[in-house]
Structure 1
Amino acid sequence: MATSANPLNAFHFFGIRHHGPGCARSLLHALEQLQPDCLLVEGPPEGEALLARLADADLRPPVALLVYRQEQPAQAAFYPFAEFSPEWQALQWAVQRQVLTRLIDLPQTHAMALEAEQQQACQEADDAEPDAEATDPQPDATQPPAPEPDADTAPTASDIPADPLDWLAQAAGYADGERWWNRLVEERGDSEALFASIAEAMSAVRSELPEDWRGASRTRHEHLREAWMRQCLREAAKAGHQRVAVVCGAWHVPALQAAITAKSDAALLKGLPKVKVQATWTPWTYRNLSMASGYGAGVASPGWYAHLWQCSQTATETTASAVPATTLRTAGWLARVARLLRERDLDCSSAHIIEATRLAEGLAALRGQPSAGLEELNEAIQTVICMGETAPLQLIEQELTVGDVLGSVPPDVPQVPLQRDIEQQQKTLRLKPEAAARVLALDLRKELDLQRSHFLHRLRLLGIGWGTPAHDAQRNRGTFRESWSLQWEPELAVRIIEASIHGATVAQAATTRLRQNLTPEAPLPAIAQAIDDALLANLPALVQSLMHTLAERAATTGDVGQLLCALPPLAQVYRYGSVRQTDTALLASVIDSLVLRAAIGLPVACMALDAEAATDMHTQVLAAHEALRLRDSGTASEPTAAVPDEAAAEAATRQAWQAALRSLAQGDAAAALLRGMACRLLLDAHLLDGAQVATQLARNLSLGVPPLDAAAWLDGFLNQQALVLLHDEAIWGAVDAWLSQLGEAQFVQILPLVRRSFSAFSQHERQSLGEKVRRTHVQPPDSGAATAAVALTTPDPQTDASPWDEDRAALALPLLGRLLGLEPSAVEASARSEP
């Protein structure tokens, strides 16, 4: 326990590591001995009003004090607490004994204002950088270079490790400061001299570091924080407190004990900017306490630290037990490992646990440690249980060493109305937030699952990514199935506060947010996608409004590309309409209108396109054609028959689209890729017979057509499907004749394009085409192009069929004879009669 130089000897400093169970144990013992009349804890003063909630049983760690800016909720700060955090235990101790408690860190009302000013200054500097580069004078070549740094001078910022504790760790023989601190503080027993030793170590480290080793901005911010803390200490002394316990990060202890005048601190803190902030409690997770999450004060193994804390509490409660606390810690951890592995159907017997316990304790003894730590336990697990494999250790790391624990807060803590609505719907829909990821399969034919889908889609529109759509082939068969991947993250609390400006309920906020995202200049595809989103989120009023907007915009636009791109999302809306109980009559009329306008302008839009533009149009036309097919299949699946007017409108739409495709296929102005695609679509729709297709093949694959155009037409016609070649002999013969009549130079020119077309076929299709080539008698022309054509269908030499092996075939005859009930002599005679 370290004391200050205060004349009254009132201040007792306890330098801790945030989220350290060893520090928490020692701190509780020190507080019991000291019995302070005032507790000062490093934390945001805005959260003092929330400390009364610490006595609430519904406030279960891990939780965090969330402080956010009212005008810009995205600017927020979290102060997490776990059960094993020293600050949490100190605050709990003070609340239970009704000891006055103050949070003494720099208020976020100033910190956020300073952060905003710094961001603005950086933005202005970035904007002015091009001008500065243009006006900066060139360096003087005659100026002597800067002197080399002296090896005996103080270390520079580049020489200092990211964690200064690494210096102490290396001096003690440890690889890094994390392991050193973990071994000496968190995994050790309680010690009365712990905090005095921590203060001495921090003073030594800070005395060796240059003043601005963290950079000017961070150094200034740290000085402001420590000046504010010293001012809070002075206020506590002025209030007459005799025993003041100061709990802060170990790094700040030397600065708080330094002899700095109140006048200097007041001058440093004078004129700080302010912004309006709000504070509340929010759930937190162990995963967000870990270093891997990017948390600056994070720990490597929060799950292991929780186990250390729980074992120390168990040992304290059962002091009469003959089992040492260290053995309880080791055996308890390995028992949890065994339970986890068995749940995953991995082998882990009692003998494994016994031998792993012995090995871990033996390793600790060899290394001069009083008990086995996490490093020894992992080595024992890998050696004994995992048989040297490292894969199970990754599972243990994820599930136990880090862990998926989610805290909870009372329902009546300060919340925005939107957060209350979300929590109420989570209870109604039985969707419990969990830190672990899980897949939720929904059947939209069930009312509860349909409401869950609406709720999750509304949150998605608000940017609250609790659930993301999952692609599960087994669970998503049919339009009535939907899968979501759910995982609650603490940062979602900030997203909820941000989204609260759009409305007090989820439905209202989602409607407002979707409307705001659509500007008057939004293209038709964006409006169509918004209609799809509104339908999935069950916002019927917005769906109707957006469809009227889309109809008005479609009536005035002549951009065929926009019309085509708007069709796929609308077809999805129409497809899911009956499942999601949506009236699709207006939507059908909008789709018909878009298709009619696109069909009118399609032939002109496909004229004079280069290769890249033709590829883009090819993709858009195929997607629109599929959308029209979905629209037709959706009408066919309606439970009630369509009225005559709707049926006539549907027929007119289909005829207009087919006429546009016929114009493309039979014309000469469109790109060859698009003409081939249109011909194939008409063939699949049975609108072209064999003779008409043969005519188009002869016209587009003749010698008079440039080889590159012919290859592009064939690419569009094949449409990444080989069935037409396998089952239509006329088309097969036409393609074969075209390839056979090409000269060697022409064939080499179009070979890459044709190979690209064939590469889109499946492996089975290519093998079938190769077999068909071998069965077909081809007269080899002088050019040898037909021989090369065979290579198009057999890119892999391993797919070549081996010749008939009579000896191998004869081996199957005895068994075949037995299956057919033939006499062995008959089988042998048959085998001898074979040529």
Structure 2
Amino acid sequence: MATSADSIHFFGIRHHGPGCARSLLQALGALQPDCILVEGPPEGEALLPMLQSPDLRPPVAMLVYMQDEPSHAAFYPFAEFSPEWQALQWAGRNQVPVRFFDLPQTHAMALEAARRAALKQALAEQEDDAAEALEDPDAAEETGAAADNALAVVDDAPELEPVAEAEPVNPMPGDPLDWLALAAGFEDGETWWNRMVEERGDSEALFEGINEAMTAVRAEVDKDEQHWRGEDYARREALREAWMRQCMREALKAGYQRIAVVCGAWHVPALQKNVTAKADAVLLKGFPKAKVQATWAPWTYRNLASSSGYGAGVTSPGWYEHLWQCFEKNQAPAQDGIAQQATKTIVPAATLRTAGWLTRVAHLLRAKDLDCSSAHIIEATRLAEGLAALRGQPTPGLVELNEAIATVICMGESAPLKLIERELIVGDVLGSVPADVPQVPLQRDIEQQQKSLRMKPEAASKLLALDLRKDNDLARSHFLHRLRLLGIDWGVPSQDAQRNRGTFRESWQLQWEPELAVRIIEASVHGATVAQAATTKLRASLTPETALPEIAQAIDDALLANLPALVQALIHTLAERAATTGDVAQLLQALPPLANVYRYGSVRQTDTALLATVIDSLVLRAAIGLPVACMAMDEDAAAAMKTKVLAAHDALRLRGGEGGADADETRQAWRAALKSLAMGDAAAALLRGMACRLLLDEHLLESAEVVQQFNRNLSLGAAPMDVAAWLDGFLNQQALVLLHDEAIWGAIDAWLSDLGELQFAQILPLVRRSFANFSKHDRQSLGDKAKRTPVGGLGGGGAAVVTLRPAGAAGEPQPWDEQRALLALPVLGQLLGLNLPPALVDAAQDAPDFNVSAARA
């Protein structure tokens, strides 16, 4: 729409709308402007010459970031169907000057940084005031008195009469498009806009209608815009629109006669307002500045979707791409395989659009081995067209197509619909940028390694399985681990990667996100190459106050990333710190990652000779201080120490027997520390039971010795809590020792049998907690064993002896009594429905010397 001077023509568009893009091209062709102003950052004008490069393929985004703080960045995405992208392409083809006229990010980011700093300072002052109030009793008393007075005033206030029909504070919906949609009879603004604008094709009169609608909506919003979206939003929008008006005035002063203004439809009414240049200049006076840099970055349809959180996103980028291709070619996309009939009958573009989309759906479902025949497509097309006719629409839209697909093809199943939404309606499309775009050195090194390792970034998630015995796969693993150290999570270890860590297999889940471009820029301050940056960042994260476990984990990370110089330096640092620390908990926590490095270093071709000495030193120091460190612990501290000791014990087993006398000395010292825990009385009961179990598993205690510890720690004089804790530590969530060691089974049975009623009631909930950690199969096996094998007493060797009647007075089990067993045969025969031979029944009643084995034979 032209201004009164007929020099400025406004084209209010929706970002990433194919209908707006098509209509805009028609309008630009008719107007033939001599200057185009596009909503975008002025810093991006230096990137415009690259628009004609064939390597710049949308979706892409202009990335503007602060040089001092790269995490503070802004993206300006473009898709092939974005009106701004088509306007820039039209200007390039017709050699028309084009300018971005949004508020420069050099000012916007400086204002945002100042706002954040002010907010942070205000929060710090509030915390200081609160701390002073707590330290000053008088101030705290005054604060409490003021609060009491306020509560008293509230309590004494009269009750208000309820209003019958009170007006809501903000009766308007959150999205202005929803207001227009409700007035037109649609459920939401997205559906209404799609139907009226994006799916209708091209129309030069479209922009007049959009301008009229936005003017009406903004007239309502401008009455109280601060209340609608907040004061900060209203101020930012006012600054942006004032800057846009200033840019329009500058274009007029430059002598342009036909200026095309392409901006969001929401801004058009504000840009057409009669605001003086002086008022805008006052509003824009005194802007701070920040140093910013702009570049192109690949973008994805997934990030273009509104579901990603992008404020100007659309719900269906893949569908919009299909609409654009249909508009551009006036027929369905060539890859859909739909051809004109041999008779050259002209098929309407709307029909081809519908059939083309359904053909894409068929190709997708068939590729996933789902049933979708030609009959499905024909019937779905008919249903979609019928739905559109019933709703008074000339052609089916995405809503009608989805309903037809759900009814005819998916038969009401939701899983295929989710697949269609992810793969087609949204889509996994990743753009590309030329190699000569402005880049930091780290980004160039990453791209070079991606090419050399044949690891192409893709928008779709992909599982990458690596065989570390192959040189290329090993290099890929090093590359991905280095990126993770830099916070660039292009690849994430899959769930089974931890289980396969000791093998030659490693699994990664790869998915490229546009936000990673910002992470790369942030990481560039650490170095120009991936290896250099990872080394510098990891080294900088360790301070003189860093605990031993964190240093040990850093060694593990450096090993995985193949940073051998850093590994050696960190090992020396760990050895120095360990020599001066007496914290047993830190020594124990440092062992598991070091054991992983030692055990699997050969797989990654790493020298671990020095590491073995460090591990032995840590184990010796931990063994010396372990008995003392486990004294006087409460329940929570004992549980935490138990976890650390078990992890260290497993790590020592990974250390293995290599190393000669030093390794033997290390193992002996550790076993001596465990024996001191198990046999002593000073440590927590949980830790004593755990140590006893570890010694039993290492075959350092006989069953009789373990039974002796049972009798000592499960005696009637022990506190119920200590008894339950000792048993919990000994069982260690494993039932195998009860299922296979009859001596221990008998000891627990004897202990339970000797408990009185009161003691049994006290101990039962505590012991049940230990048994609840067993698996369902283990609990069932224990129950079967308890029913199948009643326990008598312990023989001289400590083994349980099975008997069918109580032991004698002397505690000795009775021998097998065949006569008594025969007496049960008639009753068992009746219960089990067995037809016993009469001779066997008679023998059971009349012949005490009857041979049971002969009768069975």
Please report the TM-score for the alignment, with normalisation by the length of structure 1.
0.89
Cα distance change, pair 810–166 in 1 and its aligned pair in 2 (3 A) = farther
1:756 match: 769
2:840 match: none
Q: Is 1:695 matched with 2:708?
A: yes
- Secondary structure of residue in 2 paired with 1:567: helix
1:199 match: 211
Q: Distance between the aligned counterparts of 1:754 and 1:252, measured in 2? A: 71
1:664 match: 677
How big is each residue's C-alpha offset from its partner over 1:628-683, in whole Å with a ceiling of 9 and x where there is no partner? 001116x4xxxxxxxxxx31110110110011011111111111111111111111
What's the offset of the Cα at 1:778?
A: 4.9
Alignment coverage as a number of residue pairs: 776
**Of 493, 502, 515, which aligns to 1:491?**
515
What's the offset of the Cα at 1:447?
A: 0.8
Cα distance change, pair 779–732 in 1 and its aligned pair in 2 (3 A) = closer
Q: Distance between the aligned counterparts of 2:201 and 2:571, measured in 1? A: 69
What's the offset of the Cα at 1:312?
A: 1.2
2:95 match: 98
1:509 match: 533
* 375-384 vs 211-220, greater mean Cα deviation: 211-220
- Secondary structure of residue in 2 paired with 1:554: helix
Q: Distance between the aligned counterparts of 1:390 and 1:618, measured in 2? A: 47
For structure 2, list consecutive stretches of 5 or more residues without a partner in the other structure: 134-138, 334-339, 794-826, 836-854
What's the offset of the Cα at 1:710?
A: 1.9
Q: Distance between the aligned counterparts of 1:810 and 1:392, measured in 2? A: 57
1:579 match: 603
1:727 match: 740
What's the offset of the Cα at 1:317?
A: 10
Q: Is 1:233 matched with 2:248?
A: yes
How big is each residue's C-alpha offset from its partner over 1:713-734, in whole Å with a ceiling of 9 and x where there is no partner? 1111111111111111111110
Q: Distance between the aligned counterparts of 1:805 and 1:355, measured in 2? A: 69
Q: Is 1:315 matched with 2:330?
A: yes
1:267 match: 282
For the 8 Å contact 2:497–2:508, the answer to whether it is kept is: no
Cα distance change, pair 804–201 in 1 and its aligned pair in 2 (3 A) = farther
2:3 match: 4
Describe how 1:148-187 pairs up with structure 2 within 5 A: 158-187=170-199
Q: Distance between the aligned counterparts of 2:741 and 2:754, measured in 1? A: 20
- Secondary structure of residue in 1 paired with 2:653: helix
Please report the TM-score for the alignment, with normalisation by the length of structure 2.
0.87
- Secondary structure of residue in 2 paired with 1:738: helix
Describe how 1:605-616 pairs up with structure 2 within 5 A: 605-616=629-640
2:439 match: 415
2:105 match: 108
Q: Distance between the aligned counterparts of 1:707 and 1:310, measured in 2? A: 77
For the 8 Å contact 1:662–1:682, the answer to whether it is kept is: yes
What's the offset of the Cα at 1:174?
A: 0.7
- Secondary structure of residue in 2 paired with 1:582: coil
Q: Distance between the aligned counterparts of 1:248 and 1:150, measured in 2? A: 45
1:85 match: 82
**Of 376, 389, 404, which aligns to 1:380?**
404
For the 8 Å contact 1:475–1:481, the answer to whether it is kept is: no
Describe how 1:443-454 pairs up with structure 2 within 5 A: 443-454=467-478
Describe how 1:672-691 pairs up with structure 2 within 5 A: 672-691=685-704
- Secondary structure of residue in 2 paired with 1:12: strand
Question: What letter corresponds to residue 579 of structure 2 in structure 1?
Answer: A
What's the offset of the Cα at 1:126?
A: 2.4
Describe how 1:14-29 pairs up with structure 2 within 5 A: 14-29=11-26
Q: Is 1:714 matched with 2:714?
A: no
What's the offset of the Cα at 1:806?
A: 9.5
Question: What letter corresponds to residue 3 of structure 2 in structure 1?
Answer: S
For the 8 Å contact 1:475–1:483, the answer to whether it is kept is: no
1:739 match: 752
- Secondary structure of residue in 2 paired with 1:61: coil
Question: What letter corresponds to residue 674 of structure 1 in structure 2?
Answer: L
What's the offset of the Cα at 1:259?
A: 1.1
For the 8 Å contact 1:5–1:257, the answer to whether it is kept is: no
For the 8 Å contact 2:704–2:743, the answer to whether it is kept is: no
- Secondary structure of residue in 2 paired with 1:733: helix
1:303 match: 318
For the 8 Å contact 1:664–1:678, the answer to whether it is kept is: yes
For the 8 Å contact 2:497–2:507, the answer to whether it is kept is: no
Q: Distance between the aligned counterparts of 1:698 and 1:215, measured in 2? A: 72
Q: Distance between the aligned counterparts of 2:633 and 2:433, measured in 1? A: 61
Question: What letter corresponds to residue 662 of structure 1 in structure 2?
Answer: K
Q: Distance between the aligned counterparts of 2:171 and 2:120, measured in 1? A: 30
Question: What letter corresponds to residue 253 of structure 1 in structure 2?
Answer: V
Cα distance change, pair 579–435 in 1 and its aligned pair in 2 (3 A) = same
For the 8 Å contact 1:560–1:602, the answer to whether it is kept is: yes
CA RMSD of aligned residues (A): 2.6
**Of 638, 663, 666, which aligns to 1:653?**
666
1:816 match: none
**Of 219, 228, 232, which aligns to 2:234?**
219
Q: Distance between the aligned counterparts of 1:293 and 1:807, measured in 2? A: 69
What's the offset of the Cα at 1:217?
A: 1.3
Q: Is 1:767 matched with 2:764?
A: no
Cα distance change, pair 810–222 in 1 and its aligned pair in 2 (3 A) = farther
1:465 match: 489
2:847 match: none
Cα distance change, pair 222–147 in 1 and its aligned pair in 2 (3 A) = farther
Q: Distance between the aligned counterparts of 2:253 and 2:52, measured in 1? A: 29
Cα distance change, pair 182–805 in 1 and its aligned pair in 2 (3 A) = farther
Question: What letter corresponds to residue 170 of structure 1 in structure 2?
Answer: L
2:123 match: 126
Cα distance change, pair 347–316 in 1 and its aligned pair in 2 (3 A) = closer
Cα distance change, pair 283–654 in 1 and its aligned pair in 2 (3 A) = same
- Secondary structure of residue in 2 paired with 1:569: helix
2:845 match: none
For the 8 Å contact 2:326–2:332, the answer to whether it is kept is: no
**Of 65, 77, 84, which aligns to 2:62?**
65
* 687-696 vs 188-197, greater mean Cα deviation: 687-696
**Of 28, 31, 50, which aligns to 2:28?**
31
Cα distance change, pair 407–572 in 1 and its aligned pair in 2 (3 A) = same
Cα distance change, pair 632–172 in 1 and its aligned pair in 2 (3 A) = same
Cα distance change, pair 650–362 in 1 and its aligned pair in 2 (3 A) = same
What's the offset of the Cα at 1:808?
A: 9.7
1:75 match: 72
For the 8 Å contact 2:24–2:87, the answer to whether it is kept is: yes
How big is each residue's C-alpha offset from its partner over 1:16-49, in whole Å with a ceiling of 9 and x where there is no partner? 0000000000001111111111111000000001
Question: What letter corresponds to residue 410 of structure 2 in structure 1?
Answer: C
Cα distance change, pair 281–805 in 1 and its aligned pair in 2 (3 A) = farther
Q: Which structure is larger by alpha-carbon Rg, 1 or 2?
A: 2
1:334 match: 358
Q: Distance between the aligned counterparts of 1:96 and 1:231, measured in 2? A: 27
Cα distance change, pair 807–243 in 1 and its aligned pair in 2 (3 A) = farther
- Secondary structure of residue in 1 paired with 2:174: coil
What's the offset of the Cα at 1:355?
A: 0.3
Q: Distance between the aligned counterparts of 2:158 and 2:276, measured in 1? A: 43
For the 8 Å contact 2:358–2:381, the answer to whether it is kept is: yes
1:292 match: 307
- Secondary structure of residue in 2 paired with 1:169: helix
Q: Distance between the aligned counterparts of 1:144 and 1:79, measured in 2? A: 55
For the 8 Å contact 1:502–1:509, the answer to whether it is kept is: yes
What's the offset of the Cα at 1:4?
A: 1.0
1:567 match: 591
Q: Distance between the aligned counterparts of 2:35 and 2:96, measured in 1? A: 6
- Secondary structure of residue in 2 paired with 1:159: coil
Give % identity. 73
What's the offset of the Cα at 1:466?
A: 0.7
